[in-house]
Amino acid sequence: MKKSLKNIFIFLVFLFLFLPIIVLVIFSFNSSELNIVFENFTLNWYINLFDNRELIEAFSNTIIIAIVSTIISVIIGTLGAIGLHKYDFAFKNVINKLLYIPIVIPEIVLGISLLSIYTLFKLELSIYTILLSHIVFSIPFVVVSVRSAISNNVDVLENASYDLGASNFQTLFYVTLPSILSGVKSGALLSFTLSLDDVIISYFTAGPSSNTLPLKIYSMIKTGITPDVYALSTILLLVVFIVLTISILVQMRSIRRNSI
């Protein structure tokens, strides 16, 4: 097949993936609220955004939940991955297998089973139950990505560290953690993005007054989303783009350096 045809195909897939995103960016600058034709350029939605207190509150809840759940999942998941690698105990295989459950079962099943267990234990649904639920689905992703970074090399280095008289915690902080850092980072990134965009599990575990951005948007869709939500999403997209561009530039640099 011709090279140009292949490039056209790649371009069409990207068009498909980005079309709705392009639409929302364009309409965030539109003076009309109707989203059918572009009337006049305006920045009003960006300015009005900060007056929409409900939206700002939902947004800050989302960010706080994403940050806190990522920190807690990374701590439990990283320690767990190291522990499960190092030590043998009776139910190790069972624990390892059960850890895959949140990754493979449909999210809705995880959502309703957490809702049921919270009701059983009479936990009142609130922002804290959303947080706990996000930790529940994030931990396995952290364990899996940390585990992929633990190689046999780490064992050798750890043994060397012990032989040289380092304590367990010195070994953990100066030897083990630095060598599995790439896994910890990708686990953290994964759990942060999963939490940021979660609809289904938050939907079942949120209290009546607790709101996150996805839940807020979900409730708005039936009546129509106002362009200030587009404005907020465009700002978020811009942040993501800047971060990704930096990471690509860093990659390019390291590739160039390696090729020299």
**Helix/strand/coil (H/E/C) assignment for every residue in the chain:** CCHHHHHHHHHHHHHHHHHHHHHHHHHCCECCCCCCCCCCECCHHHHHHHHCHHHHHHHHHHHHHHHHHHHHHHHHHHHHHHHHHHCCCCCHHHHHHHCCHHHHCCHHHHHHHHHHHHHHCCCCCCHHHHHHHHHHHHHHHHHHHHHHHCCHHHHHHHHHHHHCCCCHHHHHHHHHHHHCHHHHHHHHHHHHHHHHHCCHHHHHHCCCCCCCHHHHHHHHHCCCCCHHHHHHHHHHHHHHHHHHHHHHHHHHHHHHHHHC
Q: Considering only residues 175 through 204, tell me which ones interact with other proteins, judged by CB under 8 A.
A: 190, 193, 196-197, 199-200, 203-204
Check residue 45 for interaction with other proteins (CB under 8 A): no
Q: State which residue, 43 or 92, has the beta carbon closest to other proteins.
A: 92
The correct pick among 122, 169, 208, 260 for binding other proteins (CB under 8 A) is 169
Shortest distance, position 168 Cβ to other proteins, whole Å: 4
- Nearest approach in angstroms of CB 6 to other proteins is 4
Q: Which of the ranges 39-47, 50-58, 63-71, 91-99 carries the binding residues for other proteins, by CB under 8 A?
A: 91-99
In the range 116-135, which residues lie near other proteins by CB under 8 A?
A: 116-117, 120, 132
Q: x/- string (CB under 8 A) for other proteins, residues 25-44?
A: --x-------xxx-------
Which one of residues 58, 188, 229, 231 is an interface residue with other proteins (CB under 8 A)? 229
